[in-house]
């Protein structure tokens, strides 16, 4: 779809797929590349915050910090990214027992050209959902009396 120049439509699909509890880092990275191609910096910042949340869920605070800083590079006025950065700073202070640096360096990322096969993404998403359904259906065996 993106190869045909339907970047906005593809972005809508990424947005809808991201609502799934099984949305993956790969989905968000593809969506981020789409944002860059469309030069939608505010949307890119939102996607970076989602990637940061995934990193936090995976207990990877350094990666989460990097994604939040990247979000601020795309949109310096993004309130969600600013809140996340403050939380990460507070978390770092509590872990280390002292203050963190007062300054961070933010670099603006430049758009890169990506070739993305949206069909491959949808297929991978469907396979992931199918695997989860199979796992949920397998559940513990019940015994009948």
| pLDDT tens-digit profile, the chain (145 residues) | 555 568 999 999 999 999 988 899 999 999 999 999 999 999 999 999 999 999 988 888 889 999 999 999 999 999 999 999 888 888 776 665 544 444 444 454 544 444 555 666 666 667 767 777 776 666 665 444 4
* Residue from 47, 37, 27 nearest 120 by CA: 27
| Angle (deg, nearest 10), helices 25-38 and 7-18 | 150
Residue 10 phi, psi (nearest 5): -60, -40
Domain boundaries, the chain: 2-101
Options 1.25.40, 2.60.40, 1.10.3470, 3.60.40; CATH of 2-101: 1.25.40
């Amino acid at each position: 779809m993106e190869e045909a120049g339907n970047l906005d439509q593809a972005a809508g699909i990424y947005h809808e797929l991201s609502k799934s509890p099984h949305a993956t880092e790969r989905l968000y990275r593809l969506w981020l590349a789409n944002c860059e191609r469309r030069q939608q910096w505010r949307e890119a910042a939102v996607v970076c915050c989602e990637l940061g949340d995934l990193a936090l869920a995976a207990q990877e605070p350094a990666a989460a910090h990097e994604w939040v800083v990247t979000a601020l590079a795309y949109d310096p006025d993004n309130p969600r990214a600013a809140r996340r950065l403050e939380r990460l700073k507070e978390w770092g202070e509590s872990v280390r027992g002292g203050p963190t640096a007062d300054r961070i360096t933010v670099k603006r990322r430049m758009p890169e050209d990506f070739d993305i096969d949206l069909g491959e993404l949808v297929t991978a998403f469907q396979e992931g959902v199918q695997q989860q359904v199979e796992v949920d259906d397998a559940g513990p065996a019940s015994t009948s009396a």
